[in-house]
Structure 1
Amino acid sequence: MLSLPAEFEQFHWMVDMVQHVDLGLIVLDREYTIHVWNGFMVHHSGKQSHEVIGKTLFEVFPEIPKEWFVAKSRPVFNLGCRSFLIWRQRPYLFKCRNVRPITQQASFMYQNVTLNPMTSPKGTVDYLFLAVEDATAEAIAEGATANN
């Protein structure tokens, strides 16, 4: 069993990884209130954590079609399974600027997004987390052009 200092150190590492991983991580509750907004999302969206945490996804991003997103998230909350949004079906969920110098042919970041259930110790899914992956290089390689 880990000692308290080792457990604290591992917790600190986990928080550091969440903030610095090259992947957007967002935690939403069943009302779509934002609880976690990591460094990737700050960097790419231009929205600071204190600007978004405690607000609903649709307050911060009114351009996201609410009915569509709720339908995509329903199986995550109700069945505890993943849901996927891929750039070929919808170029992005969050219109973020493209900041990769090699792929400047795109005016925005293409994204693959996975909606993941977060199961509580009681077995309920009261939160989900979105993993937002930059798929711009893949989209450009496949001939997509982003001039929007």
Structure 2
Amino acid sequence: MNEHEIEHLHRLTQLLQGIEVGLVVINRDYQVQLWNGFMENHSGLSAKQVRDQSLFDLFPDLPKEWLISKLEAAFLLNSRSFTVWEQRPFVFPFRYSRPITGGNQMMCQNMTVQPLQDLRGEVSHAALILYDVSVQAADRRQLTDANEKLERLSQIDPLTGLANRRQWEQALEQEFQRCRRYQPPSCLLVVDVDHFKQVNDQHGHAVGDQVLNELGNLLARSLRKTDLVARYGGEEFVILLTETRPEQGRILAERLREAVEEMVMKVPQSLNITVSLGLCPYQHSLASAQAWFEEADRALYQAKQNGRNRVEVA
């Protein structure tokens, strides 16, 4: 080997040791033959310590069967393979503690398995090339979390914290289809605050908002976890009473009406309100979820016409 070749090899060795990519070369017995600076820094093991040692003895936490299948594809089929952090967050259990990822997490890794041929063209070694993608993974997770939060917010009424009309209409359609298929008992209840315009006119819209908020809390507390209460709009609320027969729905509606009538709000002076309620049990003759709602809304209108602070059943 002449001087030029020696210098070239020296530069190549420096490059392999200094790049911010993990490089591991193993032989057919899975023994480490090359271990670059990246691997030294993150494993705490020097190249001298790992030389000719079994990779799986050095790292018993490696996904052995999965990794061997990748390596055998390289040795037997001369086939390159890849894995990304979305499929498997990491291969080597390296800690990652840069502030951008929130500290003390496992390094997220992409990996390439590259077959290496000897001078006869036979695959005698395989290289594991490890890429640190923790920053990209953190960015992706933050974006996913933000999108999930926006999706949740898009289904929540900002004033009461209840489901909003969008979520309600989706749930109503699902319940309608379930009832049409399985015929379980189910009831739809529409609740409207009596004379709510007078509350706003006499006490102001801030007080009106507080009234709606407290009413929403009372409705939510009074229902089962399997029921859904939502603010439909303005001073109107809607409730899905699943697995509820008509007589049970009527009893629950009366209890809600009485609870609202007895509720005293401090806003800031004492204030009482009443509500009118329209109840519609599911019937197979209903043509659509919208028709179900319209029947309950007509019952609510009847309650208003008949003097308010009462329950009417469609």
- TM (norm. structure 1) is 0.89
For residues 106 and 34 of structure 1, the distance between their equivalents in structure 2, rounded to whole angstroms, comes to 28
Counterpart selection for 2:136 from 129, 135, 138: 138
The residue that corresponds to 1:46 in the other structure is: 44
1:142 is paired with a residue of what secondary structure?
helix
The residue that corresponds to 2:114 in the other structure is: 116
Counterpart selection for 1:95 from 80, 93, 96: 93
Higher helix share: 2
Q: Compute the displacement of 1:9 (Å).
A: 0.6
For residues 55 and 90 of structure 2, the distance between their equivalents in structure 1, rounded to whole angstroms, comes to 15
1:84 correspondence with 2:68: no
Counterpart selection for 1:62 from 60, 63, 86: 60
Q: Compute the displacement of 1:67 (Å).
A: 1.8
Q: Compute the displacement of 1:83 (Å).
A: 1.1
The residue that corresponds to 2:175 in the other structure is: none
The answer as to whether partners of 1:106 and 1:140 remain within 8 angstroms in 2 is no
Deviation per CA, 1:94-119, whole angstroms, max 9, x where unpaired? Answer: 11111444334461110001000111
Identical amino acids, percent of aligned pairs: 37
Q: Compute the displacement of 1:86 (Å).
A: 1.3
- TM (norm. structure 2) is 0.43
The answer as to whether partners of 2:75 and 2:124 remain within 8 angstroms in 1 is yes
1:18 correspondence with 2:16: yes
1:4 correspondence with 2:18: no
Greater relative contact order (Cα < 8 A, sep 6+): 1
Measured at CA, do residues 125 and 69 of structure 1 come closer, stay the same or move farther in structure 2, by a change above 3 Å? same
Structure 2 portions without partners, runs of 5+: 143-314
Moved over 2 A (4+): 99-106
For residues 115 and 71 of structure 2, the distance between their equivalents in structure 1, rounded to whole angstroms, comes to 9
Measured at CA, do residues 104 and 44 of structure 1 come closer, stay the same or move farther in structure 2, by a change above 3 Å? farther
The residue that corresponds to 1:72 in the other structure is: 70
For residues 50 and 104 of structure 1, the distance between their equivalents in structure 2, rounded to whole angstroms, comes to 33
What letter corresponds to residue 100 of structure 2 in structure 1? I
For residues 43 and 85 of structure 2, the distance between their equivalents in structure 1, rounded to whole angstroms, comes to 17
Measured at CA, do residues 142 and 106 of structure 1 come closer, stay the same or move farther in structure 2, by a change above 3 Å? farther
The residue that corresponds to 1:128 in the other structure is: 126
Deviation per CA, 1:101-145, whole angstroms, max 9, x where unpaired? Answer: 43344611100010001111211001001110001011111107x
For residues 130 and 69 of structure 1, the distance between their equivalents in structure 2, rounded to whole angstroms, comes to 10
The residue that corresponds to 2:193 in the other structure is: none
The answer as to whether partners of 2:75 and 2:125 remain within 8 angstroms in 1 is yes
| Greater Cα radius of gyration, structure 1 or 2 | 2
What letter corresponds to residue 107 of structure 1 in structure 2? Q
For residues 83 and 53 of structure 2, the distance between their equivalents in structure 1, rounded to whole angstroms, comes to 22
2:106 is paired with a residue of what secondary structure?
coil
